[in-house]
Amino acid sequence: MNTFLNVLLIIAIIAAIVLGVMYYFGRKMEKRQVEQQSMIDAAKQTVTIMAIDKKKMKMSESGMPQEAIDAVPWYAKRMKVPVVKVKIGPKIMTMLADEKAFAQLPLKTEAKVVISGLYITDVKSARGGLIPLPKKKTIGQRITGIFKKDK
């Protein structure tokens, strides 16, 4: 019985340390995100683009400028990011997109979007209409969807 309590105490101490470390780094990342969001808001502008192609691909395969790839942390270089090939005026460019903007952006039509550098932050309007965002399922719907059999 004594060893069981010792093991339980050690697990509780390890869990408390892990939670403390996660809280510390979470607060640090939150401050960094607020700073980055203010920089994005300062540089945003509305432009008309035509989306030629959109894919989710790794940052190293995206065709972005080397300076942009070098600015990404090492752990995020292998993540798949939403990449959109757009035509802005006579120029064809490769841009990154926000997840919500990526889902709404229609292909082969003109759209007014809000950009900040090489990052599409929001889609304002499109000629053929915006693609509606998919509705998120609740936890209950996901659980019942797992157990339903397709007929």
pLDDT value, residue 151: 46
pLDDT in tens, 72-120: 888 887 889 999 999 998 999 999 999 999 998 988 889 999 998 888 9
Q: Do the bridges between strand 91-97 and strand 110-116 make them parallel or antiparallel, or are there none, so unpaired?
A: unpaired
Q: Do residues 117 and 51 both lie within one domain?
A: yes
If one counts the domains in the chain, the total is 2
| 97 closest CA partner among 118, 74, 71 | 118
Q: Do residues 57 and 113 both lie within one domain?
A: yes
Percent of the chain whose pLDDT exceeds 90: 42
Does a structural domain hold residue 104?
A: yes
State how far the alpha carbon of 112 is from the alpha carbons of 27, 96, 137, in Å: 35, 16, 29
pLDDT at 17 over 60: yes
Q: Do residues 75 and 38 both lie within one domain?
A: no
Q: How confident is the model at residue 129 (pLDDT cuts 50, 70, 90)?
A: confident
Rounded Cα gap, residues 121 and 100, in angstroms: 8
Does a structural domain hold residue 141?
A: no
Rounded Cα gap, residues 51 and 105, in angstroms: 7
The pTM score is 0.67
Q: Do residues 30 and 54 both lie within one domain?
A: no
pLDDT value, residue 150: 53
State how far the alpha carbon of 111 is from the alpha carbons of 52, 69, 125, in Å: 11, 26, 6
pLDDT in tens, 29-70: 999 999 988 888 888 899 999 999 999 998 888 888 888 888
Give the residue-averaged pLDDT of 129-140.
77
Does a structural domain hold residue 70?
A: yes
Domain, as residue range, for 65: 45-126
Does a structural domain hold residue 136?
A: no
Q: Do residues 112 and 79 both lie within one domain?
A: yes
Q: Do residues 24 and 87 both lie within one domain?
A: no
CA 111, 115, 119, 122 torsion: positive or negative?
negative
Give the residue-averaged pLDDT of 15-21.
97
Q: Do residues 37 and 110 both lie within one domain?
A: no
| 115 closest CA partner among 91, 138, 90, 98 | 98
